[in-house]
Amino acid sequence: MTSSFGAFEDYISLEKNYSRHTASAYLNDLISFQGFLQNTYEIEDLAEVVYPMIRSWIVVLVEQGLTNRTVNRKMSALKSYFKFLLKTKQIDRNPMLKHKSLKTSKTIQVPFSSEEISEVLSALDQVQGFEGWRDRLMVELFYASGMRRSELIELEVDHINWERNTIKVLGKRQKERIIPLIPSVVITLRHYLDQRSALEIMGHVPFLFLSKKGVKIYENLVYRVINGYFRKVSKKVKCSPHILRHSFATHLLDEGADLNAVKELLGHSSLSSTQVYTHNSIAKLKQAHAQAHPRQIKP
């Protein structure tokens, strides 16, 4: 089974344009499934895998306390893998053909308020030097663009169009989109680039965001920066880069932005993915309706 993992990784990375993070997660899931098959059924030949075996793995995963969402992610890895094997004629049937995903509840993330974001930016006014401007630019870009953490990490200096004040973002499966930069972000960007140019960088580093050592930033660093600043001003359970993305979308919709426009800015492939952000906007509309409509019964 392992022998085809390398070819599968090339397939989802090069042909399907999956991100490195997704490809790595899928491979880890396949290795876990392989270990389960060997330990439970003492088999390695994929031709022997039938759906009841996969179902029994699902039971084990659930008993281990994994959420339905996590289990579904692992099943997505198996689905993609068996489709690949079927396509390359390594198997003649797909044991995942009739599999149905486990039900998951849609959790509504509470966005940061505009006041909380303003407090963080005010705190960043007091932080000087390279890291201060870098951290401020992170916060401003997340909130002004709604980009994903992985997209921010992969930004390059050459992606900036100074004439149009836009930045090119490479989303999931390398799908490209252009995001406008508001004036305040452009100002912060120029200050940051001045600081960045003073770093002692060995050779040309194309990536926009760097550590103080002059190397490309990584996911945990971005999380620590966002969490560190917002934890000081917010009591929300989650203070992550994704909540800033959620705040971007929610605040735009609150101000009357077109849902399709927000969809394009977020890089969603379908409108249903964007509609989850309308929850808070609808709640506000209901509140306004209840307070102002003349036919509402007053207490």
Q: Answer left, alpha or beta for residue 267, where phi above 0 means left and psi between -120 and 50 means alpha.
A: left
Strand intervals (E) in the chain: 160-161, 166-170, 176-180
Q: How far is CA 197 from CA 6, 121, 136, 183, in A?
A: 39, 23, 17, 21
- Return the structure tokens found at 24: 């790595």
Residue positions annotated with a catalytic role: 148, 172, 242, 245, 268, 277
| Residues 74/119, Cβ–Cβ less than 8 Å | no
CA dihedral 234, 236, 242, 247 (to 10 degrees): -70
Which residues, other chains included, contact 42 with Cβ-Cβ below 8 Å and sequence gap of 6+?
none
